Amino acid sequence: MRDENPLETRNAGLRTLPRRVTDYGDVRAFTGAFDNLGEFENAAVRMRSAVPGESKMLPSIRAAIQACALKDGAVISFHHHLRNGDHVLEMVIAEIARAGLKNITIAPSSLFPVHAPLLQYLDSEVVTGIHTAYMVGPVADAVSRGALKKPATMCTHGGRARAIQSGDLRIDVAFVGAPTADAYGNINGVDGASACGSLGYAAVDVECARWVVAITDNLVRYPACPIDITQDHVDFIVAVDSIGDPRGIASGTTRPTTDPVGLQIARTAADVISLSGLLIDGFSFQTGAGGISLAVAAAVKDVMQRRNIRGSFASGGITGAIVDMFHAGLFRALFDVQCFDLSAVDSYRRDAAHLGMSASLYANPHNRGAVVNQLDAMILGAAEIDLDFNVNVTTGTDGIIMGGSGGHADAAAGAKLAIVTTRLNAGGYPKVVDHVTTLTTPGETIDVLVTEAGVAVNPRRGELRHRLVAGGLQVVPIEHLRNMAGHGASRPHQKSREERIVAVVEYRDGTVTDVVRAVA
Amino acid sequence: MRDENPLETRNAGLRTLPRRVTDYGDVRAFTGAFDNLGEFENAAVRMRSAVPGESKMLPSIRAAIQACALKDGAVISFHHHLRNGDHVLEMVIAEIARAGLKNITIAPSSLFPVHAPLLQYLDSEVVTGIHTAYMVGPVADAVSRGALKKPATMCTHGGRARAIQSGDLRIDVAFVGAPTADAYGNINGVDGASACGSLGYAAVDVECARWVVAITDNLVRYPACPIDITQDHVDFIVAVDSIGDPRGIASGTTRPTTDPVGLQIARTAADVISLSGLLIDGFSFQTGAGGISLAVAAAVKDVMQRRNIRGSFASGGITGAIVDMFHAGLFRALFDVQCFDLSAVDSYRRDAAHLGMSASLYANPHNRGAVVNQLDAMILGAAEIDLDFNVNVTTGTDGIIMGGSGGHADAAAGAKLAIVTTRLNAGGYPKVVDHVTTLTTPGETIDVLVTEAGVAVNPRRGELRHRLVAGGLQVVPIEHLRNMAGHGASRPHQKSREERIVAVVEYRDGTVTDVVRAVA
């Protein structure tokens, strides 16, 4: 690998990267999934001590903005447990705009279509920076077209926790949407009209932010109980009419696919797990909330019940499908960073072994050991996967941001068996390609690709390949799947791009896997 | 107040203090209970990230000492939830001695008679420093006589959390006695032969120590569940035969006093609470594990049941007596930093609203709001109390260390109504005196003294005095109680002291309330 242009560098995924990005800074190129482990320092945290007897209640979000002395250029954070039902981010930014502040960087753990009202604040430069692990909807579209002044930083869920703890991402004020809170700042996510369950993403913010403001629509007698976030991490509490619409929490797919192709892929993925040797007592599992993922869960459940296998834990964002497996005795515990649906919220409220976990405990690569490190099998989606098994879940083939790692790259790195499931084509585009449009998750951390036309095994995993072949699975070279995907595709791969960088894609350790350039 | 000696200073309790203490450093004199609030910084924490797939299990304590690269002069911490049944501290120090290390400072949250084997390591200068909130027994006796090379630092429970978070007390290795742990470092206190309940004191250590070693006698399948301390805070795990003797957990008095004088004091204390205006719905309460304290709890329980009062919470070290009140519906929640008996352990295991709390959440004056700040009434003991309502719980009148603040000064500062209960005399010594032998808890934070000969109210609390008088209590000037106590006493007050300082007594904010000089 030669670097002929002094302004450019290449990372281990062989993406050409600028050495420096304006309004982002120097680019540390990704070199390998496990290269940056060792000694780390969690940054010092400055805070204000409480005065005994002094109230923490403030009459309005405006009063909280003033109490925290929020200034132009500040960084403020949000968590996304209310997902596409969240009202908090909009309320806060609107008040910041009314206060005349500019040049704010927002650091929500994710952004959804419900956050479309943010668009006007990008235009007016109230908000000029975004640091997030996932964004989809009008804001993501607008960022892709250059509506945000500075490049967005797209991190992973674990990388966000790492960045906050290390001081790479310094939060001036963390705004916490609190489904239930008391007047001294004890918070839970399980009670109230906006109950969303685990508050795992907010847990890191409140430990490291300069100021913490809880915004609640269910102010209860002291002490709120149970407690997800304790009072020693909260400066102020503001009561509002509504922090969100719980119907928006289950905003993704919540039912297993019924499509025959999807079902076939799911069954094959379950076969891969079954043949891997990992599906024994103590098995641990993570999957997302997509239709194929839920179908894989159903298929794995079936195998575990038939073989009388008792797993150890399931983790991640928790769905009703996983709760059902837990209730069926197939897992002893759930590690829940976020409830994907109301069935998960209900279980988190009732089941003692349905444990909340912080984003750091979940996936931070620089703490003393994240839960992803204990995962056996992880089911992952992909917008694209390439011949090196690199995965793109950040942009469409058209270059428009439509997601981001979330926990994708984290779980892939941690799990013993990281399985990508995808159809060969979607919307006319091939999904198995020569090179992914945007590199989100490095191929070295992906073990298997499962499609309707067969299974490809990462050449690094020869022993696994042998097991799958011996088990009768149709194992093919990934080039074969790339060829079939190309044959079935009809549309061009790319829209024209501008030079301007609209997002920097960070790996969980803060190195850069890719940049996203503006769509014309 | 004049400072005529440039080497000396005086604090707000008018104790003469040296400006500097060898092997302790500069003395910041205590100026007032609420003087040092405002902006604070939690220190940066250096740690080593886990490597996925790497085991955290080590074969021995010796291996852990080596893995943490423990050196001469290091600071190591322990928690005291196993109280007088703890085996961990002795096991670790013995191994450190065998490794040939010297000049270690130990920072146990408390020391008990069971830690007598430490004496040999003071003599051999394996251990030359002690930082603790409480010590009683042979080690405390020996320290009082000068057996420890450096002066001990006697802190409060909340002050210890503050010191650790701020970096005033930098822990190289935290050794955590883990009643239950899994191989990746998830720990709970509720299962196993050495179950001790809440692990609240260890919670701060594991967040701030350079290295964290869990020592367990109940290694369970991953994940341990429930979890009091999560894996992201633990570097290594060592399995041993036994971490302690659970019979030692309930090492204090665990039954209400039956002595008529003690009962009278307890009833009067309950009357004080009752007349204070605080005993209404939402009432919150803390008491210790002494015989009078437990009798006060019984009397308060009686009043609450008769008047159908539903309190909000009880906090602190939790006893079976408090659990009984909780089970009777008199409190909605318990905040538990430490279980004082096995009945409390059992409740912590079973009752969802019996909440663990860290020492910082409990009592750290520099976080965003400790639980003690929400306390209505607190029952406190005293070795001595003086005319300024200053309390000594650190030494006997003879100058021998026989305790320390623990949470005494913390709860006194936080509670709306801090009540000291004591007999006028004990062991022939007067307990109400002109000046306490050692100043542990400043009188400005004490509201009422209850004795068998009447009640004295701090002159700062005129309104409270009025309520008690109106309610028919025998309220007398504290000088009156001092006189009566003096009349009943037979023994001399003091042993002869040397100049040498054997302990520095810190207030919760790190300022110094007093020093303890060696007993001849």
Mean pLDDT within B425-430:
90
All residues of chain A having their beta carbon less than 8 Å from the beta carbon of residue B361 are: 230-232
In A, which residues are within 8 Å of B368 by CB distance?
Answer: 47-50, 185, 212, 231-235
Predicted local distance difference test score (pLDDT) of residue B5: 78
Full-prediction pTM beyond 0.90? Answer: yes
Q: How confident is the model at residue A496 (pLDDT cuts 50, 70, 90)?
A: confident
A464, part of any domain = yes
For residue B385, the distance in angstroms to the closest alpha carbon of chain A comes to 24
Measured in angstroms, the CA of A254 and the nearest CA of chain B are apart by 27
The predicted pLDDT at position A1 comes to: 44
DSSP secondary structure string, B252-289?
S--S----HHHHHHHHHHHHHHHHTT--STT-EEE--S
**Contacts with A49 from chain B: Cβ below 8 Å:** 37-40, 365-368
Residues A266 and A317 in one domain: yes
A292 shares its domain with A441: yes
> B1 pLDDT band (50/70/90 cuts)?
very low
pLDDT number for residue A488: 79
Calculate mean pLDDT across residues A79-83.
96
- Among residues A356, A360, A407, A359, the alpha carbon closest in space to that of A197 is found at A356
**CA gap A465, B198 in Å, rounded:** 47
- Residue indicated by tokens 């003086």: B386
The pLDDT of B14-29, averaged and rounded, is 94
- Tens of pLDDT, residue by residue over A176-233, are 999 999 999 999 999 999 999 999 999 999 999 999 999 999 999 999 999 999 999 9
Q: Does residue B347 register a pLDDT over 80?
A: yes
Number of CB pairs < 8 Å for A and B? 183
SS3 call for A455? strand
Per-residue model confidence as pLDDT tens digits over B98-126: 999 999 999 999 999 999 999 999 999 99
Report if residue A210 sits inside a domain.
yes
CA atoms within a 13 Å half-sphere pointing along the CA-CB vector of B89: 31
- Decide if B290 is inside a domain: yes
Distance from CA of A233 to the nearest CA of B (A): 6
The answer to whether residue B516 is domain-embedded is: no
**Cα separation of A152 and A157, whole Å?**
15
What pLDDT, on a 0 to 100 scale, did the predictor assign at position B257? 87
Domain count, chain B: 2
A369 with B40: Cβ contact below 8 A: no
Interface test with A, best of B49, B313, B447 (most A CBs within 10 A): B49
Mean pLDDT of A146-161: 98
CATH value at residue A405: 3.40.1080.10
Same domain assignment for residues A275 and A410: yes
How far from A518 is each of A106, A139, A143, A460, CA to CA, in Å? 20, 14, 8, 35
- Tokens 């209730």 belong to residue: A327
Q: Give the tokens for residue A260.
A: 């025959």
Which residues of chain A does B415 touch, with a Cβ-Cβ cutoff of 8 Å? none
- B202 with B173: CB under 8 angstroms? no
Interchain proximity B374–A223, CB inside 8 Å: yes
pLDDT grade for B210, boundaries at 50, 70 and 90? very high
- Cβ-contact A304, A275 below 8 angstroms: no
Contact A92, A215 (CB under 8 A): yes
From B249, B268, B285, the end of a domain falls on B249
Tell me: do A230 and A289 sit in the same domain: no
Domain identity same for A165 and A307 = no
Does the structure show a pLDDT above 90 at A12?
A: no
| Across B370-379, average pLDDT | 98
Indicate the average pLDDT of chain B: 95
Cα distances (angstroms) measured from residue B481 to each of B389, B420, B442: 12, 13, 19
Same structural domain for residues A211 and A344? Answer: no
User: For residue A152, which phi and psi values (nearest 5 degrees)?
Assistant: -70, 145
Q: Which long-range contacts (CB under 8 A, 24 or more apart) does B465-469 make?
A: B467/B275, B467/B276, B467/B277, B468/B272, B468/B275, B468/B276
**Distance between B40 CA and the closest CA of chain A, angstroms:** 5
pLDDT, tens digit (0-9, with 9 covering 90-100), for B441-453? 999 999 999 999 9
Q: Could you tell me the pLDDT band of residue A13, with boundaries at 50, 70 and 90?
A: confident
Please report whether residue A27 resides in a domain. no
Q: Cβ–Cβ of B230/A361 closer than 8 Å?
A: yes
Instruction: Supply the DSSP symbol for B44.
Output: P
**A513 falls within a domain:** no
* Domain contains B245: yes
List all residues 6 or more positions away from A466 whose beta carbon is below 8 Å from its beta carbon: none
Dist. CA B286–CA B263, nearest whole Å: 18
Residue B412 placed within a domain? yes
Please provide the DSSP assignment of B49-78 as one string: ---TT---EES-HHHHHHHTT--TT-EEEE
Model confidence at B288, in pLDDT bands (50, 70, 90)? confident
Span B323-332, pLDDT tens digits: 999 999 999 9
A335 in Cβ contact with B207 (< 8 Å)? no
Report the pLDDT averaged over residues B250-277.
89
User: For the segment A231-265, what is each residue's pLDDT rounded down to a tens digit?
Assistant: 999 999 999 999 998 788 776 556 888 899 999 99
CA distance A240 to A215: 7
**What are the distances in angstroms from CA B290 to CA A439, B80, B85, B336?**
64, 18, 18, 17
Residue A3 predicted with pLDDT over 60: no
Q: B178 phi and psi, to 5 degrees? A: -115, 105
The three-state secondary structure class of B124 is coil
Residue A47: predicted pLDDT: 93
**CA A455/CA A469 separation, integer angstroms:** 10
Question: Which of these, B421, B429, B359, lies nearest to B395 by C-alpha position?
Answer: B429
Domain boundary among A249, A273, A291: A249
> Per the CB < 8 Å rule, is A368 touching B333?
no
| Residue A240 and residue A286 share a domain | no
pLDDT digits (tens, 9 = 90+) for A294-336: 999 999 999 999 999 999 999 999 999 999 999 999 999 999 9
pLDDT band at A372 (very low <50, low <70, confident <90, very high): very high
CA A329 to each of CA A269, A288, A305, B149, B191: distance values in angstroms, whole numbers, following the listed order: 22, 20, 9, 57, 20
Which stretches within A276-397 are classed as H helix? 291-307, 320-327, 342-350, 359-363
Average pLDDT over residues B403-432: 96
Sort out which chain A residues have CB atoms less than 8 A from B376's CB and list them.
Answer: none
A28 vs A289 pLDDT, higher one: A28
Question: Do B231 and B298 have their domain in common?
Answer: no
Secondary structure tally for chain A: helices H, strands E: 14, 32
Residue B9 β-bridge partners: B17
ipTM beyond cut 0.85: yes
pLDDT tens-digit map of A262-294: 999 999 999 999 999 999 999 999 998 888 999
Q: Which one-letter amino acid corresponds to residue B403?
A: G
Q: Which of B235, B368, B413 sits opposite A231 (nearest CB)?
A: B368
Domain that holds residue B423: 260-495
If asked whether residues B199 and B333 sit together in one domain, one would say no
Q: Are residues A276 and A418 in the same domain?
A: yes
The pLDDT value given to residue A289: 82
Asked whether residue B243 falls in the same domain as residue B365, the answer is: no
pLDDT average, residue stretch B419-431: 94
CA distance A75 to chain B (A): 19
My answer on whether omega of the bond before B223 falls inside 30° of 0, hence cis, is yes
> Strand runs (DSSP E) across A349-465, as ranges?
354-356, 377-380, 384-386, 391-392, 417-421, 425-426, 429-430, 432-433, 448-451, 454-457
pLDDT in tens, B477-505: 999 999 999 887 776 656 678 899 999 99
- Give CA–CA dist A300/A201, Å, rounded: 28
Which residues of chain B make contact with A361, given a CB cutoff of 8 A? 230-232
Domain check: are B64 and B84 in the same one? yes
User: To which residue do tokens 């969303």 refer?
Assistant: A196
